[in-house]
């Protein structure tokens, strides 16, 4: 099973990988110094006959309001309003999303109207652009 002390989180596709944890920082009002606001396991949602799973770690408006943890409160409110399943786009903001693809799974290429991040943690992924150009991405982190 998992190669670390972090067990896979519910609905995670690959049970051989550790379950991701989100660490959110904030600031102490009295001193302004950074502090750990919260840590939480991510919540996976499965799609396409369990061939793909997604989880949103963090989303915010741009630029974010970092006063009194307003960004974390806004993220939590957005996730609650969406039932925990944020759509593909979070317009006018940023999204940090985990995506797990089953081996051989093919997903449509797309662009969004938000600033999104994609980091290949394990394995590789092939991106095929509209003109047919292919890019193999991946590697160890």
**pLDDT at position 35:** 93
**pLDDT at position 44:** 93
Pair 23, 58: CB distance under 8 Å: no
Is-above-0.85 flag for pTM? no
Q: How far apart are CA 135 and CA 103, in angstroms?
A: 17
Residue 42 DSSP code: -
Contacts of 119 (CB under 8 A, 6+ apart): 141
- Side-chain-side CA neighbours of 25 within 13 Å: the count stands at 5
List, run by run, the mean pLDDT of 10-residue segments along the chain (141 residues).
70 90 91 92 92 90 89 92 81 84 83 73 83 80 41
**pLDDT at position 119:** 75
**Chain centre distance of CA 132:** 27
Q: How far apart are CA 34 and CA 63, in angstroms?
A: 19
**pLDDT at position 4:** 54
């Amino acid at each position: 099973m998992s190669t670390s002390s972090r067990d896979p989180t519910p609905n995670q596709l690959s049970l051989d990988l550790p379950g991701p944890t989100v660490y959110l920082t904030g600031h102490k009002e009295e001193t302004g110094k950074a502090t750990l606001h919260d840590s939480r396991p991510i919540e996976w949602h499965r799609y396409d006959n369990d061939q793909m799973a997604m989880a949103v770690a963090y989303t915010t408006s741009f630029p974010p309001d970092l006063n009194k943890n307003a960004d974390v409160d806004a993220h939590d409110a957005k996730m609650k309003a969406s039932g925990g399943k944020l759509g593909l786009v979070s317009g006018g903001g940023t999204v940090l999303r985990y995506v797990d693809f089953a081996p051989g799974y093919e997903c449509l290429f797309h662009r969004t109207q938000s600033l999104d991040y994609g980091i290949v943690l394990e394995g590789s992924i092939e991106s095929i652009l509209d003109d047919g150009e292919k890019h193999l991405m991946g590697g160890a982190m």
